[in-house]
Structure 1
Amino acid sequence: MPHPFAFLLLPFAWLYARVMRVRNWLYDSGIKKSTAFARPVISVGNLRAGGTGKTPHVAWVVRELLLAGQQPAILSRGYGRHTQGYVGADAAATAGTIGDEPLQHYQDFQGRVPVAVCEDRRVGLTTLLGQQPAPMAVVLDDAYQHRRVRPTLNILLTEQQRPFYQDYVLPAGRLRESRHGADRADVVIVTKCAAELDAAEQTAITARIRRYARPQVPVLFSTYSYGEPVSIGGKEPGIGADIVLLTGIAQPGPLRDYLTQAGYRIVHHAAFADHHPFSAADISAVAAQLRPGQCVLTTQKDATRLLEPGLRSVVAHLPIFYIPIQVQFLADGAAQLRQLLSPLFQPHAVV
């Protein structure tokens, strides 16, 4: 949402928005080159800096492609990693070598789906598609502003509680470019919705999105489904009602809401910044909050960083569990997105 002193920062936001508008015009007019690829490239991204649910939506798309008999790959920037250039995930990968979100994808699909990271998505795509066998499609995680690549399908995410049409460009708000960037989307997904979001409210949200997106672009709505806690520590007592919550994500609010509704009482919330590199001191401070019979709950994304090689011996002595999440679409959203994906895989020449 807008910065508390947004009115003071608006001149800087206007300048930043103008720079981004010129940059987009250079790509739209062909002055700057945007590369298309022979295999389908599906981009999942956002206008807003911070979490809008890209990781679980990428996983949803990849699962659908696998169910359709395709062999996809995932390419990400690998935010927060300590490496540079193109790196492919393997059994030795850590959050430090490829980033927490790519590692989560690699673990989720148990190595069945190639996962790679590269700052330059064009270089990354060229490298991935040059492998044998080449992926049938590549899903880009967080590449909406990476205009050097022209995606076959551009999926734009925006949160119900923090929609892009109520936000401002950095630094006055959290948008990476102006709201009009939504006109590049082939589909807009409103994420982290209340499961009971009614049709009237969906219609109202859709109308506001259509002020910026193209008229024919579908607007879909998704929510999260939470699974049973999964242990990552060495101690597994029964999980009681009182828990310590540990997060290093952009928007922990939906998880807090779910845990409260599920009957948990959060006695302490250790909230760190998104992608925070946990230290042994961080974990010790969290452990100090535990009382007999209590455990630590965290996210799957955070779990990848808690299991870095230097921390495993510390984590092994604690009752720490992560809560898995999956995307569920409201109404016929899943069917609509499948309809957008299926034409990408009609027989076509591959070079």
Structure 2
Amino acid sequence: MKFLKVLAYPLSLLYGCIMLVRNKMFDWHLLPSKSYNLPVICVGNLSVGGTGKTPHTEYIIKLLMNNFKVGVLSRGYKRKTKGFFLAESASLVTDVGDEVLQMAHKFDNIKIAVCESRRKGIEILLRNFPDLDVIILDDAFQHRYVKPGLSIILSDYSNLYTNDFVLPTGNLREFISGAHRAHIICVTKSPKVLSPIVSKDIEAKLSLQPHQKLYFTYIKHGNFIPLYTDNGSEMPPKVYVILLFAGIANTYPLEEHLKTKCDDLRVIKFNDHYQYKEEDALALLQKFKDLYSVNKIMVTTEKDAKRLENSVFKNIFRNIPLFYIPIEIEFHNKYKTDFDNQILNYVRKNKTNR
């Protein structure tokens, strides 16, 4: 693997330089970057995924939705549709993507849409819903044709972007110098108990700019929720074996959580945003049946659950105890109040400028 990374290093330099030149063209106004007369918040990262954008976006939605009319715009990764598409709870995962469908199921009182062009998507949202107070852009940090008023980037605690390199040698979409465009940096998936010494060390590694604020978050796992509420299965009184399967970028936090819930954890990993097929479900079912235990369950993620919501999978997993675990993010100590205030103050100040 190390040998392959060495071979790919020149390609990484070339790719990184192309992205650097592209960013400079926006900085020097050789390429157009449009601002809007309402608050626009971008939640993104430097890496290709696995930092927790969806739960952080959901946190901001919940923070704002009771006092402001909120719109959310995403690319809709892995969807089959093209162009602008307004998400609803009845939408299909192939229409809007798993992450957007997850948000649409949770927040039926806000406008959530997908569009490859964030500029076009914002303009359609504002034309159809002119009373929107704020728009949240999901995964748009590299989409420079829109200039957000507040940019947030996320970095995994166990794999800071300062320790990474650009594709294909590493997982970064651009050189780490691009982080200077962010107003907020959130270090995600940190331990629930965070040492002040460790947080100071990370702050030093990230070399924050004067305009930047640093926050730390951790994952809060919810209860086991049946994927199919009427399939005839129940949670056993004591769980000995869990078969976890997931198509997400980073299963480590969930694995660590589930190890506290059973004696034996088995893990089957798929690619991020993997679109399950019937043969995958049948193979998973056989793996589960082959486990030598009575008190056993199957577990997946909330995002994967959205890709399994159809009658074919429901019939395959009939009478099987299959659950998903929702997640939320929590801020450490005083970081929650400071983060909430920074978001709320930005929206209040810029909402009045319309």
Q: TM-score, normalised by structure 2?
A: 0.93
Partner residue of 1:169? 166
Question: Could you say which residue in structure 1 is the equivalent of 2:65?
Answer: 66
Q: Write out per-residue CA displacement over residues 228-266 of structure 1, whole angstroms, 9 at most, x where no aligned residue.
A: 111112133224231110100000011001111x23244
Secondary structure of the corresponding residue to residue 50 of structure 1: coil
Alignment correspondent of 1:282: 280
Residues 204-229 of structure 1 show CA distances to partners (whole Å, capped at 9, x for unaligned) of 0011111xx42331111000011111
Which of 326, 329, 341 does residue 328 from structure 2 map onto? 326
**CA separation in 2, counterparts of 1:128 and 1:241?**
49
Q: CA RMSD of the aligned region, Å?
A: 1.6
Match of 2:120 in 1: 123
Provide the C-alpha distance between the structure 2 equivalents of 1:38 and 1:266, rounded to a whole number of angstroms.
Answer: 54
CA gap 1:126/1:305 in 2 versus in 1, 3 angstroms: same
1:154 aligns with 151
Q: Deviations over 1:74-99 (max 9, x none)?
A: 11100010110000012430111100
Q: Which string of whole-angstrom CA distances, capped at 9 and with x for unpartnered residues, describes residues 275-331 of structure 1?
A: 000111111111112244321111000000011454333344432111011000112
Out of 121-130 and 229-238, give the one that drifted further.
229-238
Correspondences of 1:29-178 after superposition (within 5 Å): 29-67=28-66, 69-109=67-107, 111-178=108-175
Q: Is the 8 A contact 1:158 1:191 kept in 2?
A: yes
Q: Which residue of 1 aligns with 2:343?
A: 341
Q: Is the 8 A contact 1:244 1:290 kept in 2?
A: yes
* TM superposition score normalised by structure 1: 0.94
Distance 1:101 1:229 in 2: 19
Q: Percent identity?
A: 33
Name the counterpart of 1:17: 16
In structure 2, what is the Cα distance between the partners aligned to 1:309 and 1:124? 32
In structure 2, do the counterparts of structure 1 residues 241 and 4 end up closer, same or farther at CA, with 3 Å as the change threshold? farther
CA distance in 2, matches of 1:230, 1:66: 25
| Greater CA drift, 310-319 or 44-53 | 310-319
Amino acid at match of 1:348: T
Contact 1:74–1:138 (8 Å) recurs in 2: yes
Name which of structure 1's ranges 87-96 and 12-21 shifts more when overlaid on structure 2: 87-96
SS of 1:288's equivalent in the other structure is: helix
Give the aligned residue type for 2:52: G
Q: For 1:155 and 1:348, how far apart are their aligned partners in 2?
A: 22
For 1:299 and 1:166, the matched residues in 2 are separated by: 27
Measured at CA, do residues 195 and 143 of structure 1 come closer, stay the same or move farther in structure 2, by a change above 3 Å? same
Q: 3-state SS of the aligned residue for 2:110?
A: coil
- Could you say if the C-alpha distance between residues 113 and 317 of structure 1 is closer, same or farther in structure 2, counting changes exceeding 3 Å? farther
CA drift at 1:3 = 6.0
CA distance, structure 2, for counterparts of residue 308 and residue 97 of structure 1:
14
State the match for 1:257 in structure 2: 256
Cα distance in 2 for partners of 1:176, 1:309 equals 38
Output the CA distance in 2 between the equivalents of 1:215 and 1:349: 25
Gaps of 5+ in 1: none
Q: Distance in 2 between matches of 1:309 and 1:140?
A: 32
Q: Match for 2:222: what amino acid?
A: G
Whole-angstrom distance in 1 between the partners of 2:156 and 2:265: 27
Q: Please give the alpha-carbon distance, in whole angstroms, between the structure 2 residues aligned to 1:191 and 1:61.
A: 15
Equivalences, count: 344
The 3-state SS of whatever aligns with 1:129 is helix
Does residue 209 (structure 1) correspond to residue 193 (structure 2)? The answer is no
